[in-house]
Amino acid sequence: MKNKLLCNFLFLLMICLVSCTVSAKSKNYGNAKKGATYAFSEFNGGGSGEEDLMAAVLKGTGTGKDEKSAKNDALSQLANSIVTDIVSKTVVTQEERDGKYTESLKNDIVIRSNVFLKGVLFTKPVKKEEIIEVTAFMTQNSIVNTITYLLKTMPEDIETLSPEKYDDVLTMIYLSYSLLYAVNDRQVPEREKYISALSALKAEIEKLASHGSLYFQASSDVRGEVEIAGKSYKLNQKIFLKPANYKFLVKLDGYRNVSGTVNLFKGDKKFIEIPLVPELAGKHEIFLRVESPVRMIDDIEKVLLDFGIVPTQKKELPHQVVIVVKTVSVKVDNYEKYTVSVDVHTFKNGEKFKITHYEHKPFFATPQNRSEKVAEESRKVSVAVVKKFLSSIDLQKFFDESKKSRLKPESANIFLK
């Protein structure tokens, strides 16, 4: 009898402790939310600043057959610029955004820009030949009003939310946090005070996470699925899983399978871009030349081999690829801001097949880590560029020896975000 009473007492005590812990967590989130909301309440209703394109802090230009589609495209372009522009301007939080949620955040905002971006302004539609062009932009006032709106729409209690709904709240706070870095102290006096308030709320939200999310992205016209945690999911959709180290296998029609591992933590929003490596018939040799201040030919050769292409130094081969890597830097206080550019030139039978220029978002280096950082980033960017480039062309047509099937030379100018 005594043992039974003791067990019942311990059970009730455990429930009480769990309840108190949950209440404390909920209370901490509520206090942080009130603090952030109160900090921004003085901005509610907008400021008296200029609300035209000249005062824009962020902007994106879109086109479409009608005004509605042009505005939707402009919103999407604006959403893209939110992350890429802010990362290039910010030193303090660059590593956190790059390492944790930059790509996933960008993807979330693009998909749901009409939900998250309030107070966006538009220029008057301009008709150019058969299309309509519109620019969506945000001034410092509309940025602060958007943050105020997002704070007000956050739920009072997020502990009972499903992983999907919780993920929306996480996106709201990440977007608010990022938007505030788009303005400076002159545009928003005491900006650091508001950053501190948002940081406190962000920390409390992340503590309440029970799941993380994964997004496996491939071209929309590619059919395939990802196998992870004993289940199959379609590509290009969010997958919510509990924290763990997972193995995954991506199966793609007409392309090689892609496998790997991913370590997922609570609150993670991870974005995984799937390289498209076609199933090539036979062995294909190609002449390779890499021009770079950083030695990386071994890294590039491995990428080609992964695609079923054998790199050699035989200049007489009909298929050739030349990769030119450059870095440009500017001084920002005690840091140096570097931009890596990569040119990929492919030749077939002595004629240019495709030429592509890539520029990667800037990164920062200090005098202490300059050499190591530049070498690391240059290799990482170049490998990603070559994978992306090879995935973007029809390798079967490129290696087809028939001159009749030769494609016309192409060129492109792409900014990797």
Would residue 182 count as lying in a domain?
yes
- Residue 192 has a pLDDT of 81
**pLDDT, position 92:** 35
pLDDT at 176 over 50: yes
Measure the CA–CA gap between 93 and 140, rounded to whole angstroms: 20
For range 339-349, the mean pLDDT: 91
Do residue 59 and residue 201 come from a single domain? yes
Q: What is the mean pLDDT of residues 165-170?
A: 86
Task: Please report which confidence band the pLDDT of residue 322 belongs to, taking 50, 70 and 90 as the band edges.
Answer: very high
Looking at residue 391, its pLDDT comes to: 80
pLDDT tens digits for 7-36? 443 444 444 434 444 456 667 888 888 877
Which is nearest to 342 in space by CA: 296, 301, 274? Answer: 296
- Cα 386 from chain centre: 19
pLDDT for 23 equals 53
Does residue 349 share a domain with residue 366? Answer: yes
Closest to 357 measured CA to CA, from 343, 376, 347, 372: 343
Does the residue 355 lie in any domain?
yes
Q: Is the domain of 219 the same as that of 323? A: no
Q: Does residue 167 have a pLDDT over 90?
A: no
> Which of 159-163, 213-217, 250-254, 398-402 shows the lowest per-residue confidence on average (mean pLDDT)?
398-402
Same domain, 56 and 199: yes
Mean pLDDT of 77-82: 78
Is residue 351 assigned to a domain? Answer: yes
Q: Give residue 114's pLDDT.
A: 65
pLDDT per residue over 83-131, tens digit each? 655 544 443 333 343 444 556 666 777 666 666 777 788 999 998 878 8
Residue 154 has pLDDT above 90, yes or no: no
Q: Which domain holds residue 390?
A: 284-416
- Asked if 196 and 217 sit in the same domain, the reply is no
| Percent of the chain surpassing pLDDT 90 | 19
Which pLDDT score, from 0 to 100, does residue 301 have? Answer: 93
Q: Write the secondary structure of 237-277 as one string of H (helix), E (strand) and C (coil).
A: CEEEECCEEEEEEEEECCECCEEEEEEECCCCEEEEECCCC
Same domain (yes/no): 224, 85: no
Q: Buried b vs exposed e over 386-401: b needs ≥16 C-beta within 10 Å?
A: bbbbbbebebeebbee
φ, ψ for residue 328, nearest 5 deg: -125, 140
Dihedral Cα 117, 267, 92, 108, nearest 10 deg: -30
- In this prediction, residues 169-194 reach a mean pLDDT of 79
